[in-house]
């Protein structure tokens, strides 16, 4: 008789907190026009000066990947803009000398808006700011979609072992894209 209440208690302890741990969806998508024409124009000048040698004048890719088209969008979609911004800021230009003058964060932000503009995302009335990057999701032209195949995701739910020894996840949240496999954010 004592087994049944213990099982119910364990179920409640493991599953009830999961209901409150749903990942927060970003407030906006790139389709909402989150950067300005002026910002994209500035970004074009910085892109030409810093990025075009490797990525090409039309973002077509020369000695580095192209920054337009479906392959580019699939790599970054269903993730917030801070992920692509931080990647660019931390890694580009590749092979930069350690003693070279650092590129200002604002220039990287403008470059990102230029890349988005070339990919056909519309502009809006205000500029994209660093504090908005984490709340704007990059999506395809057809809006939010399921996370791409092969993407690293996070989900919260309950695990249960079936009679055949297979583990089953149930009462789970929708998978959300993540870039780190070892840590979670407070929102996650």
DSSP code string of 135-169: GEEE-BTTB--SPPTT--EE---EEEE-TTS-EEE
CATH of domain 28-138: 1.10.760.10
pLDDT band for position 180 (cuts 50, 70, 90)? low
| Residue with the two structure tokens 């803009």 | 81
Q: What is the mean pLDDT of residues 76-85?
A: 95
Whose tokens are 């580019």? That residue is 72
Is the per-residue pLDDT at 182 higher than 70?
Answer: no
pLDDT, tens digit, for every residue of 117-169?
999 999 999 999 999 999 999 999 999 988 878 778 788 888 888 888 898 88
Q: What is the pTM of this model?
A: 0.74
């Amino acid at each position: 008789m004592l087994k049944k209440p213990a099982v119910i208690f364990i179920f409640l302890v493991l599953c009830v907190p999961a209901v409150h741990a749903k990942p927060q969806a970003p407030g906006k998508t790139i389709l909402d026009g989150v950067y300005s024409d002026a910002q994209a124009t500035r970004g074009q000048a910085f892109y030409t000066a810093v990025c075009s040698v490797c990525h090409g004048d039309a973002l077509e890719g020369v000695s580095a990947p192209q920054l337009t088209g479906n392959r580019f969008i699939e790599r970054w979609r269903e993730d917030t803009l801070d992920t692509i911004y931080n990647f660019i800021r931390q890694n580009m230009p590749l092979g930069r000398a350690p003693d070279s003058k650092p590129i200002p964060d604002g220039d990287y932000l403008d470059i990102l808006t230029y890349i988005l503009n070339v990919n056909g995302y519309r502009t809006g009335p205000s500029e994209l700011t660093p504090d908005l990057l984490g709340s704007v999701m990059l999506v395809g032209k057809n809006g939010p979609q399921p996370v791409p195949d092969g993407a690293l995701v996070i989900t919260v739910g309950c695990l249960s072992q079936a009679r055949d020894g297979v583990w089953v996840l149930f009462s789970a949240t929708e998978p959300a894209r993540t870039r780190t496999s070892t840590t979670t954010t407070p929102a996650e």
